[in-house]
Amino acid sequence: MTTLDERIGAMPPRDAILIRDYIAFLEERRACPPKGPRETAAERSKAYYADAVKRMVEIQAVLKLTDKAAAESYGVTLRTYRNYLAGAPQRCGMKSLRFCDHHNISIDYWISGNGPMFRDKPGAAHLGENVVLFCPRSAVRS
**How confident is the model at residue 35, as a pLDDT?**
65
CATH number, span 41-128: 1.10.260
Q: Give the whole-angstrom CA distance, residue 114 versus residue 45.
A: 18
Q: Give the whole-angstrom CA distance, residue 94 versus residue 96.
A: 5
Domain ranges of the chain: 1-32, 41-128
Q: What is the CA radius of gyration of the chain?
A: 27
Q: What is the value of pTM for the model shown?
A: 0.55
pLDDT by residue for the chain (142 residues), tens digit each?
567 676 666 767 767 677 777 777 777 766 666 666 667 777 777 777 788 888 889 999 999 999 999 999 888 999 998 988 888 877 777 888 888 888 888 888 888 888 888 887 654 444 444 444 444 455 445 4
Q: Give the whole-angstrom CA distance, residue 9 versus residue 28.
A: 22
How far is residue 106 CA from its own chain's centroid?
Answer: 19
